[in-house]
Structures are given as structure tokens and as C-alpha cells.
Structure 1
Amino acid sequence: MPRDPSETELMLKGYGLTTAELFYRMPDYRHVLNSFVWQHYDLAPDHPKLFEFIEYWQAEIEGPLHSVRFTHRKLIAPGEWRHVTGEFTLH
């Protein structure tokens, strides 16, 4: 069984943390808005995981979506990661 990649492996492959806030209408009270926060490692600019989750919501959850706002942050930029092969200690 293949293992899931670690967070560091995902970040090194270009994934960043995507946070979305979904506003939806309550099934029994359509005039009431509620919110749900979702986070996952995803690839910008296409955001396949986010859109997969939105499609799941629309198919399986009774509360219709009103709006979605999201942000994406790459946690490791190209110049921030260094591979260290050794360490020298003085004194």
C-alpha cells in the first residue's frame, strides 16, 4: 500500500497551503448563512483539490453554496530550502 507523501515532500513538489471559507445557506433556513473553513495542500493556480471538494459539497451536502473565498500560500519558496550534507562545529 503506497503511503501518503509528507507535508515537506508536498511543499518541495510545489504544493502550498490553500485555505477556503465556504459560505452556505442552511437547508431549513435559506435566509441564514453559515460558514465552513477548509484547508488542504494544493497546487496553484488550478487548485484541483479545492475544486474537487466544492464539487463534492454541491453533490452531497444539502446546504447550497452562497460563495467561496480562498487564499493560497507556498510555504517553501525556491530560495528558502537548502540541502545540508554536513555540519562543522567550532568549540
Structure 2
Amino acid sequence: MPSKDFVRQIDGYGLTTATILYRMPDHRHLLQTFVWQNYDIAPEFPELKHFLDFWRRELDGPLHSVTVAHSRLLRPAQFRNVDGELTIH
């Protein structure tokens, strides 16, 4: 049985990393960094949006900024034309 992450990659999910800067709840002038990583679909990013909604609803540290990086790990095969063929017996 293939892993859940592999199945998600086949379905078009790619590895998404979000660097989240947020203000400290007790010291609003200080910023803290949180790195979130999960499989998500670009450009909608439903998993990241769900996480950020949770953050806004449940956590005290207000968001300052979010930087997103995304990469599909499984891509269609790349083909090249072959100019020649060498056969060795």
C-alpha cells in the first residue's frame, strides 16, 4: 500500500513551505518566526489557508507576513530526442 503522502503527490499536491512572521502576544513590537510545511496544491493552497484560518481563530499572536515556497516533487517524465544508439554485445 503506497503512503498517504505519495498518493497526494500523484494527485497533484506539492511540498509547500510557509515562513510565517507573527507578533509576540505580550510584546507586539517583537516578531517571531514559525515554519509550516505540508503537501498542498498551488496556487489555491487550501491546506495553508486552513492552517492560517486556525491561527487567526485560535492563537493570540497576530500575523505579520507569510512567505510561501512550493515545489511539485513528482512531475511528468521529461523526454529527450536521442541522436544515436550504441549496442554493446
TM-score by length of 1: 0.80
DSSP 3-state at the match of 1:9:
helix
Q: Match of 1:72, as an amino acid?
A: H
Shift in Å, 1:45: 1.0
Of 22, 30, 49, which residue of structure 2 is paired with 1:24? 22
How far apart, CA to CA, are the structure 2 residues paired with 1:23 and 1:41?
A: 20
Root-mean-square deviation (Å)? 1.1
Identity %: 49
Query: Between Structure 1 and Structure 2, how many residues are aligned?
Result: 76
Larger Rg: 2
Of 58, 61, 72, which residue of structure 1 is paired with 2:59? 61
TM-score by length of 2: 0.82
Structure 1 residue ranges (4+ consecutive) displaced by more than 4 angstroms after TM superposition: none
Q: Match of 1:62, as an amino acid?
A: D
